Structure 1
Amino acid sequence: EKDRRIRFENAPRFGLVGKPLEMTYRVLGTNNEAGSVDVRVSVNGEQVSVESATIGQAMPLQVTIPGAGRNIVELAIDPEPYELTDTNNRAIALIDGIRENLRVLLVSGEPHAGERTWRNLLKSDASVDLVHFTILRPPEKQDGTPINELSLIAFPTRELFVEKIKDFDLIIFDRYQHRDVLPILYYDYIAEYVEKGGALLIAAGPEYAGESSIARTPLMSALPAMPTGEVVDKAFYPRLTELGQRHPVTRGLDGSATEPPHWSRWFRTIGVENPEGEAVMKGADDRPLLLLDRKGEGRVGMFLSDQGWLWARGFEGGGPHVQLYRRIAHWLMKEPELEEERLTADGRGMMLEIRRQTMSDDPGPAQIITPSGKAMTVKLERAEPGVFLGSIETSEIGLYQVGNGDLKALAHVGPVNAPEFTDVVSTENRLKAPAEATGGSVRRLAQSSALGNLTGGVTLPSVVPVRSTGAAAGNDWIGLRTTDDSVLKAVSRVPLFGGFLGLGLLLLALGSMWYREGR
């Protein structure tokens, strides 16, 4: 018997996205096998390297976690001829990718009632490092206050918007208007930051429609809509658009299922023209209220009202401001769970479950490739707007490839690194010590051609009962000790419905039934 197998010695459950993760593994053989073997390393189904491993020694491994959420690291070696099984020639590690703290820059253009809403939300998120500036005293304001009596610090514009702008995952302008605080060239840097993968959120107020609007700066190339100059002061219930009912940012928002929605009214909408991207919420007169757009490799969001703080203050019962604001921020920072088009698969027991997020009405069936290479399809059923589910019961253990359109996903079905395959070579050593300590023995069935027709090619020792004090093993026999805890004296059997007794019982039952029916 021989078998070669691979296993993880140290495999952390979590790893930082984009950072190297240290792991160790070992390749084991039978009969003190020596030498080296090539190990193929794959992350999420894509081979990333081929490592040379010394058999029997713990080997270091360094992999980079590509994305947040579930990641699958697989090690594989080629099977040997006449191996007992090749199931243990692969080892799987499931690693959850987590991001380092996200850095957010919040710039409030002026103090207003909702200024602290964004700040409180972002400060309450342990995964966010917040830098917040409020422009309380613009440079053009001259009130005669001596410089040494000012308690405000200078706004580090060059450091934030030139030197360290790439370090931020999200920039928020909360009711900000163009002043001399930011040089006009810096708006071009912000637009370039978005094009190269950054995230920008505009929480617009009346100043967005005025003469000092940031839409009149080079930042306009990154904005999803230009102002019309109109500010609509009219009570309305924020509502989800048809796209908003399917979009992960607003889908299933608490209180949105009723008409009117089960949240408070707002009283101001900023007018815009030619909106781009996706309008997922609408305000007064069905005007766009929340726009989400992609610009180059980055993302931009625009809130066309400054009255979200009414929900935070509990006006008319308030609303889901925490849920909505947090989803907006994490969508802008490319959280995988909030992607409009997303395909995920997961194994639960021997069931493969598939989840498809999409903005379309029907994504079509999912294509599946089993570990053995067999192809099949699974129909995806609509579970809620924008979400389709499918499942299939499987019989193979291993990695399944799932595809739908241009999206692909991997899922491991069955036990990960099943313990029954960790060492399949038969051995007498595990039971030999306790068996000999109790007077017994462990025997390997020897091959024999003489008894092949009777015993299938093996010689079986005789099995005999022995007293509790006697030896339980010999050269060609093994014994089963009798304990005399119980003694069987005799067995008696009596037919219940035999003869006249059975006939009498049958007639009694029939008579009883006839008597009851007759009454």
Structure 2
Amino acid sequence: MMWSVSFDPFVPWWVIGAGATAIAVLLAIALRLGVRGALLRGTALALALLALANPALEREDREPLTSVVAVVVDKSQSQSLDGRDAATAAALAELEQRIAALPGFELRRIEVSPSLRDDGTALFGALAEGLSDVPPDRVGGAILLTDGQVHDIPATSGALGFNAPLHGLVTGRADEGDRRLSLVRAPRFGLVGSEQTVTLSLEDAGALGGASGSPATIRVRRDGELITEFRATPGERIEVPVEIGHGGHNIFEFEANTLPDELTPLNNRVVVTIDGIRENLRVLLVSGSPHAGERTWRNLLKSDASVDLVHFTILRPPEKQDGTPVNQLSLIAFPTRELFSEKIDQFDLIIFDRYVNRGVLPMLYFDNIARYVRAGGALLIAGGPDYAEGSTIYQTPMAPVLPARPTGNVIVTPFRADISDIGDRHPVTRGLPGAQSDPPQWSRWFRAVEAEVDMGQSLMTGPSNVPLLVLNREEAGRVAVFLSDQIWLWARGYEGGGPHVPLMRRLAHWLMKEPDLEEEALRVSLRGSELVVERQTLGDSAADVTVTLPTGGTRSLTLQEADPGLWRASLAATEIGLYSATDGERTALVHVGPQNPREFSNVLSTTERLEPLSAQTGGVTQRIADIGGGALIPRLVPLKRADDYAGAGWIGLKQTEASVLKGIDRIPLLSGLIGLALLLGAVSAAWFREGR
């Protein structure tokens, strides 16, 4: 309790000041003239004036507040090494028990779990956020339970926001040793087929004994497959050339062999993701018989800036026979030898749009096209009646690589193209706009070529269930046959049109082996904080997937069908590093977090990083592991004020002087009977003195 005197005057203060001045002047004159009873008269007037000021005695009822002690628990991935997490749990339990036994202290537990967005361990940001609602004068101190590898340490204690000791209790041993491989420089992009250079640094740190400095074996993997290995010496920078094998993410792993007494192998591996960029795709389009939709494929391919299109059109209709030599049927010479013999391997896709075999191309060049496909090329036949006639392209050496054999019959009737059962599951035709209704909400076509499918899959069907779109893999290459020349009706918007752009674009990209359109694939990706595993398959089921975490643990996932042919499952991504998913046949990789995380750049426990800041606050940073490996927690000592809050075997906590006001009691001094008695006593004493 605290006592004090307060005033609540009945008149303005200037009136009281004027009265006090007048009383003082009169008293001085009376004393100078020797008037009897002057002091008593002055006292009576002063008491009357004091009564107008209405003095009162106040008593504050205050309750002392507790001192808040923050215990920050580091739960980063490096804390899971070598039993550090167990030591942290034991130390935390001991601290909670001891602080609870101290009167006037309150524990605030702040856990800092790893974040996929944070590059390193950020304890002080969590400390500031955890104490944001606590006044600075109530903070009794902060204790950090960590391995010492903290990456957001402020330069001065003034940035902490409180004036109290900071103590660091460090897990781990002083004799730790570790080998680490770190990333120095790596490109983010590279042209497919080009060679890029990744620069690494290999270092043996800590107490590694005689193994320190021994040569290391570096293994290099691309998308999980070993591509090379070599020897390197610790302490040197290593430049590794790597080839960009495909478009999209190329995930390269660089792994150094582990040492017997090494703390962890986690930082022996570096993961680099380089996005493969294709050079402009080269497409050769040969248009044969003129027809209404001749420019459909040309318009689509020309609208894509990543496509270099070479287009030749044979304008002479087959029914026109006037004896003109074949080599004179074009305004410029058709460079057949250059295109189909010398430079055929430079094209990513060859398209024959309603091509009629009229002797423009020698049979040898069709054989070259067949060999081009088997060697990894892509071929698309967009056929109409020409595919069913005697001069069909099927009657060439290309026939062995064509999956649809024409019967010679052309079906002429209105129909709506439909998706087959396997087409519902194939990424080229799955989910096309308008395909969900029966029949599909597309415009009608009026002509289809009847054919027998000898190999591959029929993704679209026409009248009487005849195949319309047939896809096939021919050794290393791919072939697609469109058995109708009516897709231009969709492009023109006839009867509302149809999804010609997504269908034709997906078809072209499948032929050019875009990974997203593989019909059998396992993919893993990060969406927010979840790891999403997808299995694309044409089968009726998908096997369970085993996910290997960066720290070596595994999780088994049962996939559920999300769409026809697409199975999916997810799990929370709680660790930074490389995740691997496999179903026994296929493997997919994804790297979560920064490519060269500071969390694993140095995993040796240390007191050196926290010591300067602890010393500024009067605290201490020390290890908690004793000789036997157990946790040795110092005693907690409450102190009011001190320069040093640590000593041999103990650490101090600051006791706060903060309190909260619960109420105020006010006792008037010159009102009521007390004031009346004082005034009457003073007046009576003055009257008595004058009467003598």
Q: TM-score range by the shorter chain?
A: 0.7 to 0.9
Q: Partner letter of residue 658 of structure 2?
A: L
The corresponding residue for 1:27 is 202
The 8 Å contact of residues 277 and 292 in structure 1, kept in 2 or not, is answered as yes
1:318 deviates by 1.2
When structure 1 is superposed on structure 2, of 20-29 and 36-45 the one drifting more is: 36-45
Q: If the length of structure 2 is used for normalisation, what is the TM-score?
A: 0.61
The 8 Å contact of residues 446 and 459 in structure 1, kept in 2 or not, is answered as no
Distance of aligned partners of 1:28 and 1:10 in 2 relative to their CA distance in 1, 3 Å threshold = same
2:302 corresponds, among 119, 123, 134, to 123
1:363 deviates by 2.3
2:291 corresponds, among 112, 116, 121, to 112
The corresponding residue for 2:245 is 66
The corresponding residue for 1:11 is 186
Q: Partner letter of residue 95 of structure 1?
A: I
Q: Partner letter of residue 94 of structure 1?
A: T
1:312 deviates by 1.0
When structure 1 is superposed on structure 2, of 50-59 and 104-113 the one drifting more is: 50-59
Q: Partner letter of residue 21 of structure 1?
A: Q
2:340 corresponds, among 152, 161, 182, to 161
CA distance in 1, matches of 2:228, 2:200: 15
Q: Partner letter of residue 190 of structure 1?
A: I
Distance of aligned partners of 1:35 and 1:408 in 2 relative to their CA distance in 1, 3 Å threshold = closer
1:308 aligns with 2:478: no
SS at match of 1:244: helix
The corresponding residue for 1:383 is 562
CA distance in 2, matches of 1:339, 1:456: 55
1:488 corresponds, among 641, 645, 658, to 658
The 8 Å contact of residues 239 and 261 in structure 1, kept in 2 or not, is answered as yes
CA distance in 1, matches of 2:660, 2:480: 88
The one of the two structures with greater contact order (alpha-carbon pairs below 8 A, sep at least 6) is 2
Q: Partner letter of residue 187 of structure 2?
A: P
1:209 deviates by 1.9
Q: Partner letter of residue 460 of structure 2?
A: M
1:100 deviates by 2.5
The 8 Å contact of residues 428 and 443 in structure 1, kept in 2 or not, is answered as no
When structure 1 is superposed on structure 2, of 62-71 and 319-328 the one drifting more is: 62-71
Q: Partner letter of residue 425 of structure 2?
A: R
> Any gaps of 5 or more consecutive residues in structure 1?
494-519
Q: What percent of counterpart residues are identical? A: 48
CA distance in 2, matches of 1:417, 1:102: 33
CA offsets per residue over residues 179-223 of structure 1, 9 Å max, x none? Answer: 121112211111121122211111112222222211222222222
Distance of aligned partners of 1:80 and 1:491 in 2 relative to their CA distance in 1, 3 Å threshold = farther
The corresponding residue for 2:278 is 99
When structure 1 is superposed on structure 2, of 213-222 and 42-51 the one drifting more is: 42-51
> Any gaps of 5 or more consecutive residues in structure 2?
1-173, 664-692
1:442 deviates by 7.8
Distance of aligned partners of 1:358 and 1:459 in 2 relative to their CA distance in 1, 3 Å threshold = closer
The 8 Å contact of residues 472 and 478 in structure 1, kept in 2 or not, is answered as no
Q: Write the mapping of 1:342-381 to structure 2, written as runs, cut at 5 A.
A: 342-348=521-527, 351-370=530-549, 377-381=556-560
The corresponding residue for 2:446 is 267
1:254 deviates by 0.8
1:266 deviates by 1.1
The corresponding residue for 2:464 is 285
The 8 Å contact of residues 117 and 312 in structure 1, kept in 2 or not, is answered as yes
CA distance in 1, matches of 2:633, 2:650: 16
CA distance in 2, matches of 1:423, 1:224: 58
CA distance in 1, matches of 2:432, 2:394: 30
Structure with higher Rg: it is 2
The corresponding residue for 1:208 is 387
The corresponding residue for 2:672 is none
CA offsets per residue over residues 53-94 of structure 1, 9 Å max, x none? Answer: 343443211112333333322222234455554432222222
CA distance in 1, matches of 2:572, 2:623: 42
Q: Partner letter of residue 512 of structure 2?
A: M
The corresponding residue for 1:324 is 503
Q: Partner letter of residue 196 of structure 1?
A: A
Distance of aligned partners of 1:460 and 1:50 in 2 relative to their CA distance in 1, 3 Å threshold = farther
1:293 deviates by 1.6
1:423 corresponds, among 597, 602, 610, to 602
The 8 Å contact of residues 279 and 289 in structure 1, kept in 2 or not, is answered as yes
1:3 deviates by 3.5
The corresponding residue for 1:516 is none
Q: If the length of structure 1 is used for normalisation, what is the TM-score?
A: 0.80
CA offsets per residue over residues 117-173 of structure 1, 9 Å max, x none? Answer: 11111111222211111112589966999x99x992110000000011111111100
Q: Partner letter of residue 226 of structure 2?
A: Q
CA distance in 2, matches of 1:80, 1:111: 71
CA offsets per residue over residues 403-426 of structure 1, 9 Å max, x none? Answer: 225222234456654422323345
Larger helix proportion, structure 1 or 2?
A: 2
Q: Write the mapping of 1:383-462 to structure 2, written as runs, cut at 5 A.
A: 383-393=562-572, 398-404=577-583, 406-412=585-591, 416-425=595-604, 445=622
The corresponding residue for 1:513 is none
CA offsets per residue over residues 22-69 of structure 1, 9 Å max, x none? Answer: 111112344798665332222222232333334344321111233333
The 8 Å contact of residues 72 and 93 in structure 1, kept in 2 or not, is answered as yes
CA offsets per residue over residues 211-252 of structure 1, 9 Å max, x none? Answer: 221122222222222222222221111111111111111010
CA distance in 2, matches of 1:458, 1:487: 27
SS at match of 1:343: strand
Distance of aligned partners of 1:174 and 1:245 in 2 relative to their CA distance in 1, 3 Å threshold = same
CA distance in 2, matches of 1:154, 1:392: 61
CA distance in 2, matches of 1:224, 1:283: 17
| CA RMSD of superposed structures (Å) | 3.9
CA distance in 2, matches of 1:144, 1:490: 109
